[in-house]
Structure 1
Amino acid sequence: MSRFNRSLSLAAVSLAALMAAQGGAQAGAFGLREQSATAQGFSFAGAASGSGGLSSMYWNPAVITMAPGWQSEWHASLIIPRVDINPLPSVPTFAVGASGDIGQDAIVPASYGSYQINDMLWVGVSTSSPYGLVTDPRTNWSGQLYSRSSKIFSVNVNPVLGVKVNDWFSFAVGPSLQYFDITLKRAVPFPGAPAASAVFPGAPSAALEGDDIGFGFTAGVTITPFAGTTIGLGYRSQVEHELEGTLSAPFGSIGPFARLPITAKLKTPDQVTIGISQAITPDMTVHAGFEWTNWSVLETPLVIGPAGAAVTDIPLNYDDGFFYSLGFDYQINDRWIVRAGVAYEESPIDTEIRSTRLPDNDRIWASIGLGYRWNDQLSFDVAYTHIFSKDTDIRILPGHQDFEELPFVADVDSSVDIISAAVKYRWDNPARAIPAPIVRKY
């Protein structure tokens, strides 16, 4: 691969670049876990077994059969990251300076609705943003050869059909439609100049822009072997996208054209979530969860230019991600409920492939939450989480998949705070509704 094509590869992304740092991506790599203020209060423990109420549909659509009548929920999470990349003095570009805080605050919305047709059938729909963030280092910094700004936006709409087979077993399935949009930038060398010229103040940028709509599905089951115990298993499928857009660079750096039409096939990973919720007393329930995300499916996508020629490839090569969580809730009285939980997340990214766009690492979640029932139809939830990241370093040296002539070694200082809130409303009269199939306390 020529140095020029290698430049395009990094300009076009480390699609790893899709989700820089922890500036919004809070489910390992470039995923967003913040789909439920309720489940966040437990650090998402038991999300697949219904700890999040109707919003648990995101992880396991079968929990819709635990929601009697006609219900809606609206959730929003404010993600407040702090991510600083500090080059070591040995870096040739050290004098240009650190990245500054590349994390950008973001709001992640989600909504859920369900309608019980009879004592056996439910229909519903969820709207979420599984992937997305905005990161923006200083315009001129020592690692700008490897990344400038990164943006991503996604929307996933997922209608579902839930079936209560009997008192202890339910299942659900539904298609999902996902819109995916990215814009990624990095500095490039001045035409005809060595790679080091890309770190000079005022160095030009190359950018990749693309979007697509893809399709997948969700499925899940809930099992209630005896009163007080619920087990849930949920699956979100891969979604294949063929991004269509442009690769732009300063005139002369990509031949006679400043903008090339490109396509790039990308699969977002499938995910399996297991949850168990166990009532300990009439007022306390303990929740546990496990999640596997198939990030290794990303591999190394090709970026295709005009006439079907491969412009370059995009080395991702992630491992799979794992998430382990434990939490509980306590019903103070008929109006107030408190929640708490902790989790440990194994990142799919390690030092061998970690980039300046995505300095992700293993982390610990600590969460608290509070719910208030205004009346039989209206309730509110709030939650707070702090994420502690392990010490993280970046080592882009010869042999690293992103290396381009210029070594870059840095330490990453990062932490994240998340504040979430939800409004829940039941549209029908609970006194006249079809009896709930499973008696559960949320």
Structure 2
Amino acid sequence: MIGRIGLLALAGVSALSLTTGAQAGAFGLREQSAEAQGQSFAGAASGSGGVSSMFWNPAVITMRPSWVSEQNLTYIGLHADIKPIAGATNPSYLPLGGSGDIGVDAVAPAGATSYQLNDRLWIGLQTGAPFGLVTNPRKVWAGETLGRSSRIFSLAFNPVIAYKVNDWLSVAAGPNIEYFRLTLRSAIPAIPALGVLPSNAPSTALKGDSWGVGFTAGATITPWSGTVLGVGYRSSVHHDIDGSLVLPVLPGSGPVKAKLNTPEKLSVGLTQAISPVMRINLGFEWDNWSRVGTIPVISQITGGVATILPLNFKDGYTYSIGAEYDWSPAFTVRAGFSYEESPVDTRNRSVRLPDNDRYGLSVGAGYRWSENLTLNAAYTHLFLNRSRVNGGPGFNYDNFGIAFAGLVDASADIVSVGFRYTFGAPPAPMPAPIVRKF
């Protein structure tokens, strides 16, 4: 048993080696399952993503007997361009032009493994990046005092235990151990007396990281054959971030600290078989981004506020529908559509995160290579509404009183591949107790 649990952990940790880029609302990441992505994550909480669905609802692992491991790798191609608006952008910065493509191609790994201990009890481990963001405009551009580059990186380890109460109800819970790191750079304002001009301004840098712990929990209900309802919850994780603030030329550099509470996530999924070879999935997600608010960054030298991060997000809501069809016993095709109400709007949109409501179209397929090995692949295109970003006096983001306004065009292409491997047969049912008469 110790050997199997060790391999379970290694299977998860091996997935955590690459940089990620955000592709859910705000700086959240949803790319945890190639199988679920093929349906735009519809029914992820009711098991449409296999064992990897435990990111949304850990109770789904009771739907897979034996010892199962899934590993997923997702390429995220984010494209976003910010063009300054004449008359609303500071005249000294307008000639510097637009951002160029601020999107940075990224790869997001994720893994999930479950092991059935007996006919009632399972253990599992999910690993991946629940949050991530990489944007990198041209170093010299009209909005450089609001943002030059942004990097948010996270890792999460989520061991769980699941219990099959009876034939129609399963429950699960476990701790969520999370690492969070950020690096934010922007240009200092022009100071001609010191030889600092918009075209040669050095960058400020805010860096920090933290470990935090939360939990996940969930349940699946199977009222009758062919129908599964799943509900899952990921708690907020509190981070006490320690880091540094570097302000070239300006006073105030030194160690800093900040407090961040990540948003809770509530996921609901419904899977309905409409024939022996076809299933319809529905999904809903609520992300409590409004809890993030404005984050003061405190100097550890003076105890005062060194700067602030006025995120002020709204809550995020995602709705999805998908279907999968077994073309043959070995080949399954999938498709899905999603609509997400972004936590970001004109009031809180920044050049670092020019997010907006988005529509997603997905296709995918699964191929059963052998009795033990299944391969999955998916493609998604995200359409983001055109939007406006503002900064300067009177707006949330006001660095040094330099006005900026721009129009944002953005989209994303996402390709995910993964595999599922099943080790051996499920354990035999527990023997009935021996009753002796004395």
Q: TM-score under structure 1 normalisation?
A: 0.89
Looking at structure 2, the residues matched to 151 and 317 of structure 1 have their Cα atoms a distance apart, in angstroms, of: 19
* Counterpart in the other structure of 1:293: 287
Please say if 1:26 is aligned against 2:20: no
Instruction: Please tell me the residue identity of whatever aligns with 1:74.
Output: Q
Runs of 4+ in 1 over 4 A off after TM superposition: 190-194, 432-435
Q: Quick one: structure 1 residues 191 and 260, their matched pair in 2 at CA, closer, same or farther if it must change by over 3 Å?
A: farther
Q: C-alpha separation between the residues in 2 aligned to 1:191 and 1:261? A: 25
> Is the CA contact 2:230–2:268 (under 8 Å) kept in the aligned structure 1?
yes
Q: Which runs of 5+ in 2 are unaligned?
A: 1-19, 430-438
**Structure 1 residue 26, shift from structure 2 partner:** 1.1
How far residue 135 of structure 1 moved from its aligned partner, in angstroms, is: 1.4
**Which structure ranks higher in relative contact order (CA pairs < 8 Å, sequence separation ≥ 6)?**
1
| Per-residue Cα deviation, 1:90-112 (whole angstroms, up to 9, x for no partner) | 22222111101110000000011
Equivalent residues in 2 for 1:52-67, closer than 5 Å: 52-67=49-64
CA distance in 1, matches of 2:197, 2:382: 32
Taking the aligned partners of 2:403 and 2:189, their CA distance within structure 1 comes to 15
C-alpha separation in 1, matches of 2:98 and 2:362 = 31
Q: Confirm or deny that 1:73 pairs with 2:70.
A: yes
Structure 2 counterpart of 1:367: 362
Q: Residue 275 of structure 1 corresponds to which residue in structure 2?
A: 269
Does 153-162 or 84-93 show the bigger shift?
84-93
Q: Distance in 2 between matches of 1:137 and 1:415?
A: 16
Question: Which residue number corresponds to residue 136 of structure 2?
Answer: 136
Q: Trace 1:3-22 onto structure 2 (pairs within 5 A).
A: none
For residue 440 of structure 1, what is the aligned residue in structure 2? none
Query: Within 2, Cα distance between the matches of 1:316 and 1:139?
Result: 23
Which of 417, 420, 423 in structure 2 is aligned with 1:421?
Answer: 417
Residue 17 of structure 2 corresponds to none
Specify the alignment match of 1:40 in structure 2: 37
Distance 1:159 1:143 in 2: 43
User: Does the 8 Å CA contact 2:22/2:134 hold for their aligned counterparts?
Assistant: no
Name the SS of the counterpart of 1:280 in structure 2.
strand
Indicate the SS of the match to 1:57. Answer: helix
2:147 aligned with 1:123, yes or no?
no
- In structure 1, distance between residues paired with 2:119 and 2:78: 45
Alignment match, 1:10: none
SS in 2 for 1:308: coil
198-207 or 371-380, larger mean C-alpha shift:
198-207
1:360 partner amino acid:
D
CA distance in 1, matches of 2:411, 2:391: 22
Aligned to 2:254: 260
Per the TM alignment, residue 35 of structure 1 is displaced from its structure 2 partner at its CA by: 0.7
- Cα 1:158–1:198, aligned 2, differ >3 Å: closer, same or farther? farther
> 1:254 offset after TM fit, Å?
1.4
Match of 1:408 among 386, 395, 404: 404
Matches within 5 A, 1:28-427: 28-90=25-87, 91=89, 92=91, 93-190=93-190, 200-251=198-249, 253-254=250-251, 259-305=253-299, 306-404=301-399, 405-427=401-423
CA 1:312/1:271 → structure 2, altered by over 3 Å: closer, same or farther?
A: same
Whichever residue aligns with residue 243 of structure 1, its letter is: I
CA contact (8 A) 1:294 1:320 kept: yes
Shift of 1:386: 0.2
The Cα shift of 1:199 comes to: 6.3
Q: Residues 120-155 of structure 1, C-alpha deviation per residue, up to 9 Å, x if partnerless?
A: 000010101011132111110010010001111110
Secondary structure of the 2:352 match is: coil
Asked whether the equivalents of residues 143 and 199 of structure 1 are also in contact (C-alpha less than 8 Å), the reply is no
TM-score, normalization by structure 2 = 0.90
Once the two structures are TM-superposed, the CA of residue 308 in structure 1 deviates from its matched residue by 2.9
Shift of 1:307: 4.4
- 3-state DSSP class of the match of 1:381? strand
Shift of 1:274: 0.2
- Amino acid in structure 2 at the alignment position of 1:118: N
The answer to whether the 8 Å contact 1:78/1:418 transfers is yes
Question: Gaps spanning 5+ residues in structure 1: where?
Answer: 1-22, 436-442
Does structure 2 conserve the Cα–Cα contact (< 8 Å) formed by 1:96 and 1:199?
A: no
Matched position secondary structure for 2:61:
helix
CA distance in 1: counterparts of 2:248 and 2:428, whole angstroms: 64
Alpha-carbon distance between aligned partners in 1 of 2:405 and 2:302, rounded to the nearest angstrom = 38
C-alpha RMSD over aligned residues: 1.6
CA contact (8 A) 1:190 1:198 kept: yes
Q: Which moved more, 1:163-172 or 1:200-209?
A: 200-209
- Whether contact under 8 Å (1:140, 1:199) holds in the other structure is no
Q: 1: CA distance between counterparts of 2:395 and 2:418?
A: 43
Residues 15-49 of structure 1, C-alpha deviation per residue, up to 9 Å, x if partnerless?
xxxxxxxx921110000111110000000000000
Whole-angstrom CA distance in 2 between matches of 1:434 and 1:239: 38
> Whole-Å Cα distance in 2 between the matches of residues 144 and 314 of structure 1?
16
Cα deviation, residue 74, structure 1: 0.3
Q: Which moved more, 1:310-319 or 1:130-139?
A: 310-319
Kindly state the Cα deviation for residue 433 of structure 1 after the two structures are TM-superposed: 4.2
Q: Secondary structure at the match of 2:275?
A: coil
User: How many pairs does the alignment contain?
Assistant: 405
